[in-house]
Amino acid sequence: MKNVLLLALLFPIQLLAVPAEPQMTVPAYILQDFHSSQVIMEKNADKRIDPASLTKLMTAYLVFDQLRAGKVRLIDTVRISEKAWRMGGSRMFIKVDTRVAVELLLKGMIIQSGNDASVALAEYIGGTEDAFVTLMNKQAKNLGLSNTHFMNSTGLPNPQHYSSVRDLMRLSQILIQEFPEYYRWYSERNFTYNKITQSNRNKLLWHDPSVDGMKTGYTQSAGYCLVASAQRGKMRLISVVVGANSKKERIRESGDMLEYGFRFFETYRPYQAQQPLDTQRLWQGSTDELQLGLAKPLYVTVPKGQYKQLKAMLYIDKHIMAPVLAGQAYGTLKITLKNKIISERPLVALSSIEEGNIWNRLIDSILLFFIKKL
């Protein structure tokens, strides 16, 4: 059995009714807050879909990861293979047997959606594109993308190449979180290589100044797809639409979702990381008090005007015994809105505490014996 405590979240905000969601025509979509990971609206979020060039989000992730590990540098030059040079579809127009810097290839893939750049990067990281695809699928599993499987680095159609809008949302969220220094490239409107200037295919960058990424996709089987990320104030939203019938439709549907989210919802951070939320009696320890809190900041996204209605409940383990390791969970924090759980996080020890001496342990053992008898 666990102790239950109620924490008050009191911020007087004027109540505002939330209107119905915008009417969407695309077959699958999702809108989610970046910080809280709370879904604002969705349809067929777990249905398998053809991700088309949204695949390149994972290709970019793996290259960014290699840069972070120091195994690849932006100034490294990549020899362009005939396979990369011959790639059809969208291209940055690299030439066979030339050497192109990793940074230029990344921009060609991100801004111009170059299939040739994607294959060149895949071959450089993995040795072959097939080997790189193995890394893609391994990373997808590590990131918890349970409904995703890749067959290439570009997103060209293949029956065994699939994802879901929820998985693409999660991948986009993680990419922004882990690689903010490279994410900025997704907002660049134009890129010139080989004296050829091409515009970013994400036209929301022109329509909405709060949009600063991310990626478009299109194949005949996938339709027109778009992952869009936008920030207004401290609130960031990410939308994913797939299967639109035209470029205009994917822009309109994405824009409608983002506007709805920003207009009628807001995100708060009620608790910071490492903030003591409760102090519990610690038994048989070098000290008799244990502070509990959260390992990471807690964000919540709620309809505007409803923050005052949130309730925070602490469910804490009884009779916590030393030794205690910092970060170890000893309970749960649940945030509810109108009796519905909107966030649930483990309560962890904020510090490590060793066992007490023999005398302390003996006294606590006696006290616990009588307490459990009550």
Residues with catalytic roles: 53, 56, 113
Whether the CA torsion 299, 302, 306, 312 is positive or negative: it is negative
What is the C-alpha to C-alpha distance for residues 120 and 367, in angstroms, rounded to an integer? 68
In order of 40, 293, 346, the CA distances from 309 in angstroms are: 18, 22, 22
What DSSP element (H or E) covers 315? strand 310-317
Centre a 10 Å sphere on the Cβ of residue 140 and count the other Cβ atoms it contains.
21
What is the C-alpha to C-alpha distance for residues 333 and 312, in angstroms, rounded to an integer? 7
- The alpha carbon torsion through 248, 253, 256, 260 (nearest 10 deg) reads -170
What is the C-alpha to C-alpha distance for residues 209 and 13, in angstroms, rounded to an integer? 28
- The 3-state DSSP class for residue 365 equals helix
What is the C-alpha to C-alpha distance for residues 45 and 148, in angstroms, rounded to an integer? 12
Compute φ and ψ for 328, nearest 5 degrees: -75, 135
CB proximity list for 159: less than 8 A, separation 6 or greater:
none
What DSSP element (H or E) covers 366? helix 358-373
What is the C-alpha to C-alpha distance for residues 360 and 285, in angstroms, rounded to an integer? 7
Determine contact, residues 119/153, Cβ cutoff 8 Å. Answer: yes
What is the C-alpha to C-alpha distance for residues 296 and 61, in angstroms, rounded to an integer? 23
HEC assignment per residue over 86-110: HCCCCCCCCCCCCEEEHHHHHHHHH
Residue 278: Cβ-neighbour burial (10 angstroms; 0-12, 13-18, 19+): middle
CB proximity list for 178: less than 8 A, separation 6 or greater:
64, 68
